[in-house]
């Protein structure tokens, strides 16, 4: 966790006084997913803040794109022999690591273009400029490294500021709910949630319902009557 001064601390969020106060305000009497009242009940964040390394990488890439247009770097870039080629580049992060495959967690067998760096899928390729030879690649890498050295302080400051906003939101309890230990374990460790139809089986986040609940319901199914009354 990063504190308000931008320094890394080893104290876990749930070990702080602020967390304990937030827990008292937020914790309910039963699990909001399965309805269990069995103790202990826990605070469950449905969305967790991204890692600092991920935030810093996005800020760094933003600076590289922006600062490459400055004159002091542009004059060096003009010396690089470039050729315009259409590549399988992700329009979100410009990565060339794109496959025509199933998205992670998608078991339906539908293939699409998937960026292996950021996970973006189902997009139209963009046209990018790439270095013509190895010497040009080395020169472009040198320019990028120089930009990172020149703006390292600003990159870290901006990344720390964004990270602090995520931490404040996390510690405030916004978007948090009450789970039993079983639901919290399956949610965090196995990425599974309770089926909203049968209310007894758990399924992957990739699906809307448990697999059997997608099939036509039979009257001999234990949850048929309950579902029929709700409809």
- Residue 208's Cβ-count burial label (10 Å; 0-12, 13-18, 19+) is exposed
Instruction: Say how far apart CA 175 and CA 185 lie, in whole Å.
Output: 18
Identify whether 222 is part of a domain.
Answer: yes
Give the total number of structural domains in the chain: 1
Long-range contact set of residues 89-96: C-beta below 8 Å, sequence gap at least 24: 89/125, 89/126, 89/128, 90/115, 90/117, 90/118, 90/120, 90/123, 90/126, 91/120, 91/123, 91/124, 91/125, 91/126, 92/118, 92/120, 92/123, 93/61, 93/117, 93/118, 93/120, 94/61, 94/126, 94/128
Tell me how crowded residue 211 is: count the other CB atoms within 10 A of its CB: 12
Q: Which domain holds residue 218?
A: 193-230
Identify whether 39 is part of a domain.
Answer: no
Please name the residue that has the structure tokens 């013509």: 132
Instruction: Say how far apart CA 107 and CA 101 lie, in whole Å.
Output: 11
DSSP, res 75: H
Identify whether 214 is part of a domain.
Answer: yes
pLDDT digits (tens, 9 = 90+) for 81-130: 555 556 667 877 777 777 777 655 566 666 777 887 777 777 777 766 66
Identify whether 90 is part of a domain.
Answer: no
Q: Quick check: 126 and 89 in contact, CB under 8 A?
A: yes
DSSP-based three-state secondary structure for 64? helix
CA torsion through residues 147, 153, 154, 158, sign:
positive
pLDDT digits (tens, 9 = 90+) for 167-178: 898 888 888 999
pLDDT in tens, the chain (231 residues): 555 555 565 677 778 888 889 989 999 999 999 999 999 999 999 888 888 888 988 888 888 777 665 666 666 666 655 555 566 678 777 777 777 776 555 666 667 778 877 777 777 777 666 655 666 667 777 877 888 888 889 889 999 999 999 989 888 888 899 999 999 999 999 889 999 998 999 998 888 888 888 765 444 544 444 434 443
């Amino acid at each position: 966790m990063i504190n308000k001064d931008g320094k890394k601390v080893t104290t876990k969020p749930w070990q702080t006084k602020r967390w304990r106060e937030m827990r008292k305000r937020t914790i309910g009497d039963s699990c909001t997913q399965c309805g269990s009242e069995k103790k202990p009940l826990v605070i469950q964040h449905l969305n967790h803040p991204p890692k600092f390394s991920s935030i810093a990488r996005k800020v760094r890439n933003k600076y590289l794109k922006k600062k490459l247009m400055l004159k002091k770097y542009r004059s060096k870039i003009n010396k690089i022999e470039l050729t315009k080629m259409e590549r399988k580049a992700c329009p979100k992060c410009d990565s060339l690591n794109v496959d025509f495959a199933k998205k992670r967690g998608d078991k339906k067998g539908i293939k699409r273009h998937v960026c292996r760096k950021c996970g973006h899928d189902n997009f139209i390729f963009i046209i990018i400029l790439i270095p013509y030879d190895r010497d040009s690649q080395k020169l472009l890498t040198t320019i990028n490294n120089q930009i990172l050295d020149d703006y390292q302080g600003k990159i870290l400051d901006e990344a720390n500021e964004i990270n602090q906003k995520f931490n404040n939101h996390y510690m405030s309890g916004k978007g948090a709910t009450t789970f039993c230990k079983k639901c919290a374990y399956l949610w965090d460790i196995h990425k599974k949630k309770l089926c909203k139809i049968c209310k007894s089986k758990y399924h992957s986040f990739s699906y809307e319902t448990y697999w059997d609940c997608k099939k036509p319901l039979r009257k001999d199914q234990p949850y048929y009557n309950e579902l029929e009354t709700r409809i």
